[in-house]
Chain A
Amino acid sequence: MMRFSTLMKKPADWMSGDVHQTPVVLTSRVRLARNVTDSPFPGWAKKRERQLVFGAIRGELEALGVMKDGFSHELSELETVQKQVLVERHLISREQAARSEGSGAVVNRKQSLSVMINEEDHLRIQAIRPGLELQEAFELSQSVNRGLESKVDFAVDGTLGYLTACPTNLGTGMRASAMLHLPGLVLSDLINQVLKGVNKMGLAVRGIYGEGTESLGNLYQISNQSTLGESEEEILERLSKVIGDVAVYEQQAREKMAKEDGILLKDRVGRAAGVLGNAYVMTSKEALNHLSMIRLGATQGMVPESMVAVCDRLVMESQPAHLQWNSGKKIEPEERDVLRAQMIREHLQSSFPAAIDDIDQSL
């Protein structure tokens, strides 16, 4: 079985940071909600019932070829910081981190598949792929579903489809989503217009970081809302089409900015590089917004392309639980900002002289 420390050291295979694959769409994700027939849903089940379901499903999951030698834990076996790290890696949900006995996660070695047991539903099978690859993510999650359905009796009805704890997930039980980096649309003041259009297509949009309408780091998630009345293929096709269109708008906005406001764009990227390379105290909000500018610069040839991967990794690792886990001790919030600044400085120092040179040379 994979240890927690191994999981931490190995970046997930979807964090490849290949700039040609992920200039706008960072990741695609599909999750399938499934429940067994003979036990109440986790939110209503008694502890004993949850434990029975957990034991049975965990065993079947670990036996699946695709999950071989993966990471498998009951949440009660993990420290708080470890659970938070899994949340920050999107491997479990915030809701699930609050649970303990009879609830757990099984993650494959590549971290491309994670199955939450006894979250809101008995099973939440999640697959993550880099770039815009919703269909591939669906097939990956479906391979786990197929592997389990001959061994576990899933609650499914010919008319209502898969029966889920919340009726908003009925039918396919499928929530598909993509994470997009949209600094071009934000800086051009086109973001609200585009997001409204996405909403009109019956899709949901939200910021990944930050509260309310604020979206830190210009990162957004687009997902389907309806799960009943359309096939998986229809949902994925519509979603892929809309996300693909948004990615094109974003690229156009970036190119237009570089052409018409090149010096302004260069100034933003250069300032972000200056702050990240020299600050000693940095909030997560500041880090996300500056890293967003560096990432933008990397896709526009202002800093080396390799900085895309560095940025994506730093966005992940500058989150509170990652900072605490990597520091190996309990840290106070103020200390966290110091550690964050230090980590980013250290990561960037090697690439930075070249990066700043590139900014200067560009345009």
Chain B
Amino acid sequence: MKCDSCQEKATVFYTQIADGQVKKFVLCEKCANEQGITNPDGLLSPGELMGVGAGAEGDSDVLPFESAEECSACGFTLEDFRKIGRMGCARCYEAFGSELAMRLPSMHKGMVHQGYLPEGLLKEQALRGKVEALEKELREAVESEDYEAAAGLRDTIQELKKGGKGGGK
């Protein structure tokens, strides 16, 4: 399969949902990066992959689709999931995120967990929320060309991220 933007081999598969329309497209690694689709850390949570994370803004969410035919952790395939409706391992939730996203609304009241979380994860979640809020402020500061504030915000964010990693489990 060839990239939609250039003629390179496509390795990244996405579904874009905007205004209720579902568009599927394929890109090579380079073009995907240029369009800012891939996460630099490659560590999106399954929820974020599905576009339901706190970071999802506006009416356009980007979801990877069929990015995996198979879970790299356990070898369970998308086909298996479609057949039996169960996952092979916890990591399958990342691999088959968009397939899952289509099914969740008919199963549950919501798409985001509201219940109990272990303490470590609660801290992580709170930290993620704080960082996201600061990042928004940072964007606004840059837009209004308040570079002094932006620099300060950037330092705070970096510190928080560092502290978060050290403070984790």
Hey, which bits of chain A sit against chain B, CB under 8 A?
Answer: 35, 37, 39-41, 43-44, 120, 142, 149, 154-168, 170-172, 174, 202, 225-232, 234
Contact = CB atoms under 8 A, between A and B. Distances in A.
B100 A172 contact: no
Interface in B53-85: 53, 74, 76, 85
B52 A159 contact: yes
B113 A160 contact: yes
B108 A41 contact: no
Given A228-B107, A229-B110, A37 B115 contact: no
Contacts, number: 121
Lowest 9 CB-CB distances: which A-B pairs, in order?
Answer: A229-B110, A159-B47, A161-B113, A155-B90, A229-B109, A228-B108, A172-B115, A44-B88, A40-B89
Given A158-B45, A159-B46, A174 B115 contact: yes
Contact of B85 (A163, A166, A227): A166
Given A158-B125, A159-B47, A40 B111 contact: no
B114 to A, nearest CB: 5
Interface of B: 45-48, 52-53, 74, 76, 85-90, 93, 100, 103-104, 107-118, 121, 124-125, 128
A13 B159 CA distance: 53
B62 to A, nearest CB: 16
A281 to B, nearest CB: 43
Given A157-B93, A158-B124, A231 B88 contact: no
A142 B89 CA distance: 23
Contacts of A154: 118
Nearest to A163: B90
Most buried by B among A35, A165, A167: A167
Contacts of A229: 108-114
B116 A142 contact: yes
Given A44-B74, A44-B76, A171-B108, A230 B45 contact: no
A232 B116 contact: yes
A159 B112 contact: yes
A232 B113 CA distance: 10
Given A167-B107, A228-B108, A229-B111, A160 B46 contact: yes
B86 A156 contact: no
B109 A230 contact: yes
